[in-house]
Amino acid sequence: MSVLNSLEYAEKLDQQDPLQSFREEFYLPKKDLYLDGNSLGLMSKRAETSLLELADSWKRLGIDGWMNGKYPWFTLSEKLGEMCAPLVGAKAKEVIITASTTTNLHQLVATFYKPKGKKTKILADELNFPSDIYAMQSQLQLKGLNPSEHLIQVKSRDGRLIDEQDIIDAMTEEVALIILPTVLYRSGQLLDIEKLTTEAHKRGIIIGFDGCHSVGAIPHHFSKWGVDFAYWCTYKYLNSGPGGVGALYVNEKHFGTMPGLTGWFGSNKEKQFDMEHTFTQASDAGAYQIGTPHLLSTAPLIGSLEMFAEASIEAIREKSLKLTNFLMELIQSELGEFNFTIGNPLEDTRRGGHVALEHPDAARICKTLKEVGVIPDYRNPNIIRLAPVAFYTSYVDVWHTVQILKRIMEEKLYEKFENKREVIA
């Protein structure tokens, strides 16, 4: 083992880490190394505090919590949108914290998909998360269109990555809307969002992005790039807790566009309680809310976003890249004889926040990792996703993870398990 791959070197990197103090802010599993933050982020003490504070406002204020207390409920979604906006490079009025990822996607497709003449197709990719595809198929069916004809899914050349030029080539005059992930959830490929947006607009096509696997790990510049809309969850890198509230961004150039799905929380705040049967929409991204916020699922995000403001998304990205680079270097030096393949892009500019480690026995290796103290994530057909998160994963954690994986392979500990995923992968 070289000096650069030693435990001592990992300890040195931790000592030099400017974000090291944030690790103490989180409840870390006592016996396990947690590398599944791209599925569910860990609870922070601040998230716990803000949840308890909001629950206390309900206890003390009852209905008056809507307008009083530390975090008035009536405007909490807007306040959190303002806090989240710097993470995606947006103006405060362009972001709203609301609903769930798939609900927000339904809202955005219903709003911006306007088939007309021969311009009737939605362009996506074949490696996107299934829920996104289901929503697009559903929206096509609601308009009486056959998804097999009107949903174009750009093919992957290798089953791992999507070539941006293949997406651009598919931007034909029949395409009315494009929806793509910022980061592919299996391989961790980071798409060139700016380039794809520019090319879509050259052709008069509206384009939106699913930021679930990037927001909180990677800086974006949605407003500067002219991205039309985006949506994301907050329970992964933003650490808002299981089932945490979703988020959406709408570029200000679209303000005034009638929401495809209207609901009373999309109303102009001053008119909302007039109880008129004429919808007067908000003048910003708040217009694309539908129902009353799920406040107890929203509250943890208050504390979580405070830490992002202190750390900066740029510093988080810098550490994330160093962690994944260190992990890949260890994999290459320590696991070379065990038939592993790194399936994510190696370049920093093309990689998200996790490493996609491929192996024919991936499912049972994941089961073994969990048994011996490492929490990974498995994705069909053969991917072990390992996500070292900048806030709470140390370089020593990464070093120990690879040493544990090496022992599993050397001693063939995985052979006692069936190579089949559990109900929840």
Residues 27-47: pLDDT tens digits?
999 999 999 999 999 999 999
Is 264 marked as binding a ligand? yes
The residues, any chain, with a CB within 8 Å of residue 58's CB and separated by 6 or more, are: 65, 295
132 labelled binding-site residue: yes
Give 118-150 pLDDT, tens digit per residue: 999 999 999 999 999 999 999 999 999 999 999
How many Cβ atoms sit within 10 Å of the Cβ of residue 380? 10
Instruction: Give residue 2's pLDDT.
Output: 66
Is 100 annotated to bind a ligand? Reply is no
pLDDT tier for residue 425 given thresholds of 50, 70 and 90: confident
Strand partners, 119: 116
Amino acid at position 139, single letter: Q
Q: Give per-residue pLDDT as tens, 188-220.
A: 999 999 999 999 999 999 999 999 999 999 999
The pLDDT value recorded for residue 171 is 98
> Domain spans of the chain?
3-31+312-416, 49-310
The closest of 231, 161, 227 to 196, measured between CA atoms, is 227
Structure tokens at 224: 């500067």
| Residue type at 104 in one-letter notation | N
Give the right CATH number for 49-310 from 3.40.640.10, 3.30.450.20, 3.30.470.20, 3.40.50.720.
3.40.640.10
Q: 192 among the known binding-site residues? A: no
- The answer on whether 98 is annotated among ligand-binding residues is no
- The pLDDT, as a whole number, for residue 223 is 98
β-sheet bridge partners, residue 96: 248
* Arithmetic mean of pLDDT over the chain: 97
1 confidence band (pLDDT: 50, 70, 90): low
Residue 423, pLDDT > 90, answer no
Q: What is the pTM of this model?
A: 0.97
- Asked if 210 and 232 count as a contact pair (C-beta separation under 8 A), the reply is yes
388 labelled ligand-binding: no
Query: Rounded to an integer, what distance in angstroms lies between the CA atom of residue 241 and that of residue 220?
Result: 23
Pick the CATH number of 3-31+312-416 from 3.50.50.60, 3.10.20.30, 3.30.70.20, 3.90.1150.10: 3.90.1150.10
- Known binding residue 158? Answer is no
Task: Flag whether 278 is marked binding.
Answer: no
Q: In what order do the strands lie in the sheet with 206-210?
A: 95-97, 247-250, 229-232, 206-210, 175-181, 121-125, 151-154
Q: How confident is the model at residue 5 (pLDDT cuts 50, 70, 90)?
A: confident
Q: What is the mean pLDDT of residues 353-366?
A: 98
103 is in an annotated binding site: no
102 labeled part of a ligand binding site: yes
What token pair was written down for 58? Answer: 């309900």
Crossing angle of the two packed helices 300-311 and 313-334, in degrees rounded to 10: 80
Question: Concatenated DSSP letters for 311-324?
Answer: H-HHHHHHHHHHHH
